[in-house]
Homo-oligomer: A and B are copies of this chain.
Amino acid sequence: MAQIWHLAARPDGNLTTGIFALSAQPDPALDESMVRVENHWLSVDPYMRGMLDENGSYMPALPVGSPVHGGAIGRVVESRAVALPVGTMVLHNQGWRDLSTLAATDCTALPQDGAPIRRHLGHLGMPGKTAYFGLLVAAEAREGDIVFISSAGGAVGTAALQIAKIKNMTVIASCGGAEKCAALKALGADAVIDYKSPGDISGKLRQAAPDGISVYFDNVGGDHFEAAIDSARVGARFALCGMVSGYGERMRLCIDDPMRLVMKRLRLRGFAAPDFNDRHAEFYGDMLRWTLSGELKSPETVHEGLEAVPTAFVSLFSGGNLGKMLVRLAPAGPGDAA
């Protein structure tokens, strides 16, 4: 019997754990070319917020009553697929449960690459790919750029910050709270902005980047976006990937004096990690090298046990994590060591 988190109700205004319900389901028979996976690590990510609403977002809306899904890493415990024998560690997208039954083609066997295996849900996985291609391709950031990163304390932000520093850029990182600010400084940020401290973001950014910014990596939209336009130099490039602050509320993004988009010759580009799937090797090669050399640190916030999944997920939106937010289900195996 698999224990699976289901969507019990749509979020109504504030997001609460009460919209999720855990229930057991009989394990389906294992058809030809399918595997059963015992999950060790579950991922919760901001993008998942979108599928909870009626309109959907990155993905179609999840019907109420459906099992929730998301990134997961586990061990094949039963297999009718030659390519994935029992014992193989795999990455898949049928998380929010302890046991997943799925087609072998929906699993990716994970390499023993010397990095902790859970990193494939973080800086070696989707969030890392979002940071890498968002910064280097969508924003075309290069050595010498002055980069503003919003929500820089998350999985994507901590990667973007460090990639920018490895590439000799100047980084202004925004996050909430003195503790996170200190952590981002330790990761190499040249300046940090605490959005929870008194004062508006525009003023703080002007102070942190008196010469303006040439790149904005947007994870939140809202007032950070407005501040970035305000401080943008001529020709600045904006990579837009999240607009977390807009999830749920279908908020409006209002730009005062939009002629500034023209006058400053701004370039804005929306993107998502899967857009760059054909360039996976490039990303993985760089990020693994930097991980193994210690240049790229991967802070993590780990919750324990399947029951903790909704709590971990909901706290993403109140800044409850530094770095990648994970839920650990099984005792660490050999590949799980830090």
Assuming A243-B259, A251-B258, A254-B252, is B275 touching A270 (CB within 8 A)? no
A250 to chain B, nearest CB (A): 5
A183 at the interface (CB under 8 A from B): no
A275 to B263, CA, bound (A): 11
Q: From residue A213, how far is it (CB to closest CB) to chain B in Å?
A: 16
| Chain B contacts for A256, CB-based, 8 A | 250, 252
Residue A142, interface by CB 8 Å: no
Candidates B243, B257, B262; contact of A262 at CB < 8 Å: B243
Q: Are B241 and A262 in contact (CB under 8 A)?
A: yes
26 inter-chain pairs at a CB distance below 8 angstroms, sorted by A residue, are A58-B263, A243-B259, A246-B258, A247-B259, A250-B256, A250-B257, A251-B257, A252-B254, A252-B255, A252-B256, A252-B257, A252-B258, A253-B254, A253-B255, A253-B258, A255-B255, A261-B268, A262-B270, A262-B271, A262-B272, A263-B270, A264-B270, A265-B270, A265-B272, A267-B268, A267-B269
A257 to B265, CA, bound (A): 23
Q: Max chain B CB contacts within 10 Å: which of A253, A258, A275?
A: A258
* Distance, CA A266 to CA B254, complexed state (A): 17
Per-position contact with B for A237-253: 1 when CB-CB < 8 Å, else 0? 00011110011001111
Name the B residues within 8 Å of A259 (CB-CB): 50, 57, 243, 246-247
Which residue of the partner chain B has the closest CB to A55?
B257
* Complex-state Cα separation, A251 to B255, whole angstroms: 9
A299 CB–B CB distance under 8 Å? no
A221 at the binding interface (Cβ < 8 Å): yes
**Chain B's nearest CB lies how many Å from the CB of A29?**
37
Q: Across the A-B interface, give the 6 residue pairs with the lowest CB-CB distance, nearest first.
A: A253-B258, A262-B270, A268-B268, A254-B254, A261-B270, A253-B255
Residues on B with beta carbons closer than 8 Å to the beta carbon of A264: 270
Docked complex Cα distance between A267 and B268 (Å): 6
